[in-house]
Amino acid sequence: MKYISTRGRAPVLEFGDVLLAGLAADGGLYVPDRWPVLSPEALEGRPGRGDYADLAAEVMWPFVDGAYTRDRFDELVRDAYSGFDHPDVVPMVELGEGLWLMELFHGPTLAFKDIALQLVGRLFDEELSRRSERVTIVGATSGDTGAAAIEAVRDRENIQIVILHPRGRVSEMQRRQMTTVDSANVHNVAIEGTFDDCQDLVKAMFGDAEFRAEQRLSAVNSINWARVMAQTVYYVAAATRYGLERASFSVPTGNFGNVLAGHVARQMGLSVDRFVVASNRNDILTQFFTTGAMAISEVHPTMSPSMDIQVSSNLERLLFELLDRDGIRTAKLLEDFRATGEMRIDARISADLGQNWSGVRVDEDETTAAIAQLYRDTGMIVDPHTAVGLAAAHRSERDPDRAMVVLATAHPAKFGDAVEAAIGTRPPLPPALAELAERPERCPRLPNDLSAVKAHVAQCSARAFG
Ligand SMILES: *Cc1c(COP(=O)(O)O)cnc(C)c1O
């Protein structure tokens, strides 16, 4: 399998290079040069019994064939999912009338990012040891990515990790999950700004070729192809393990990585009816899927901070598909969007998109109401991100004979305040979270200033690698 950039001007790479590169040299994102077809083994439905790690290795194998032996890859995948606290890794619960919740939060940081990052951390380490190389991973987080990335690479000898988060805009739990990790290779920075500011700082550091090479920068945020790849698996798992033919998925969306992975599974032959792209009041994607146009506005903080995003990086991969994989047109569209803050796609393309995508905006009151209603009806507690997905699913048109799967992206205890406001009681803290309150935090603050941040990153990697 070869990988090409969505902007058509970067070198064609193999999986191992794409893994370490993150962003392509032309500013685009790497995608496979063709979509492999799900094997009969991957599609074979064994309701309730399928082993997640086996399925995962089978689904992902075509993307990595050539980079590992099959035995080694199976081993890495098995190891990645061995630390999850549920034997099914991604268990599903039926809420009634064909509505399902798929729990993606059984990994070490209790959010869905673990599913991709526990694997990607291992793939990184493997690739770096093989090459006798070291990298400095730099990433921006709106909350959960940072914790999951740190957890995935802590104490690994070949990796330093520097994570920027917007100060005061992530929950206390999310912050503590990052800042209490006592590992010499872990460096957190609180930026005076928004998540988009953090993401822009990261992009600017990667855009500086000299700095990037000097510091051996690498990324594991959701632009990294390997993360999208790892996330395709649970869409296949939902369909095959539970025998859901042509289901729809409602996906709480921020950077568009999660739902894009569903699109990839569909490109590989999984039968899916519709993707509901669920947004909070940061509804730029709702505009896009309902009108074919979008305009950037400011980021509004909400109770689902991991979705407080205006520029969803992974949308570029979908745009590339919609433009018939024409990198030059994709580059132009994205560059104009950068310059003007506005984008409009062809009316024909937008009409096609409406066939199997919906954009739904869910405001704060509706999110709270969704948490409260589910609790009243079933006693179950969901986090506010999941609640956005749930409310969006309720609001979408649905074929009554087809299942709708809501992806539950975080454990409710990570967002205790929002949950308490909705149902009057706090979700019980799992042990992994309970002990965080006791631990000291380590986290310098920096202004939203590129040169200050660059100097800090250089210092972190120099201190570590000498
Ligand atoms: C990251 C995250 C999202 C958004 O996922 P994207 O892949 O960025 O669209 C939703 N919910 C939670 C809890 C998250 O951590």
pLDDT at 254: 94
Report the C-alpha gap between 109 and 178 in whole angstroms. 10
| Ligand 1 atom with minimal separation from the 252 CA | 10
228: closest CA among 258, 183, 186, 190?
A: 258
Mutate which of 105, 232, 234, 253 for ligand 1 pocket (most atoms within 8 A of beta carbon): 253
Mutate which of 112, 150, 317 for ligand 1 pocket (most atoms within 8 A of beta carbon): 112
Q: Which sign does the torsion angle of CA 278, 118, 101, 437 carry?
A: negative
User: Alpha helix (H) ranges present in 184-246?
Assistant: 195-207, 209-214, 225-241
**Is the C-beta atom of 127 inside 6 A of ligand 1?**
no
pLDDT at 47: 44
- The answer to whether 426 touches 121, Cβ cutoff 8 Å, is no
- The answer to whether 139 touches 152, Cβ cutoff 8 Å, is no
Q: Which residues are identified as catalytic?
A: 113
pLDDT at 380: 97
Question: Distances from the Cα of 110 to the Cαs of 78, 161, 188, 265, 439, in angstroms?
Answer: 19, 20, 19, 24, 18
- The residue whose CA has the least distance to atom 1 of ligand 1 is 306
Q: What amino acid occupies position 268? A: M
User: Alpha helix (H) ranges present in 315-427?
Assistant: 315-322, 327-340, 347-356, 364-378, 384-395, 416-423
- pLDDT, averaged per 10 consecutive residues of the chain (466 residues), comes to 97 95 89 96 63 94 96 96 94 94 96 95 94 92 85 92 94 91 95 92 93 89 91 94 91 96 97 97 96 94 90 95 97 96 95 95 98 97 98 90 96 94 94 89 96 95 67
- The answer to whether 165 touches 427, Cβ cutoff 8 Å, is no
User: Per the structure block, which two tokens stand in for 284?
Assistant: 């730029």
**Is the C-beta atom of 410 inside 6 A of ligand 1?**
yes
pLDDT at 48: 44
**Is the C-beta atom of 115 inside 6 A of ligand 1?**
no
Burial label for 355, CB within 10 Å (0-12, 13-18, 19+), is exposed
334: closest CA among 321, 346, 348, 320?
A: 320
Ligand 1 centroid vs 466 CA: distance in angstroms? 35
Ligand 1 centroid vs 66 CA: distance in angstroms? 31
**Is the C-beta atom of 136 inside 6 A of ligand 1?**
no
Report the C-alpha gap between 60 and 261 in whole angstroms. 12
**Is the C-beta atom of 142 inside 6 A of ligand 1?**
no
| Ligand 1 atom with minimal separation from the 105 CA | 13
Residue 67 DSSP SS3: coil
**CB proximity list for 169: less than 8 A, separation 6 or greater:** 142, 194, 195, 301, 305, 308
Report the C-alpha gap between 102 and 237 in whole angstroms. 10
Greatest alpha-carbon span in the chain = 61
| Ligand 1 atom with minimal separation from the 255 CA | 8
**Is the C-beta atom of 140 inside 6 A of ligand 1?**
no
- The answer to whether 353 touches 344, Cβ cutoff 8 Å, is no
| Ligand 1 atom with minimal separation from the 383 CA | 13
| Helices and strands (H and E) in the chain: how many | 20, 15
pLDDT at 464: 58
**Is the C-beta atom of 409 inside 6 A of ligand 1?**
yes
Ligand 1 centroid vs 76 CA: distance in angstroms? 24
- The residue whose CA has the least distance to atom 2 of ligand 1 is 306
Ligand 1 centroid vs 143 CA: distance in angstroms? 9
Q: What amino acid occupies position 75? A: E
**Is the C-beta atom of 254 inside 6 A of ligand 1?**
yes
Q: What amino acid occupies position 265? A: A
**Is the C-beta atom of 418 inside 6 A of ligand 1?**
no
| Ligand 1 atom with minimal separation from the 144 CA | 15
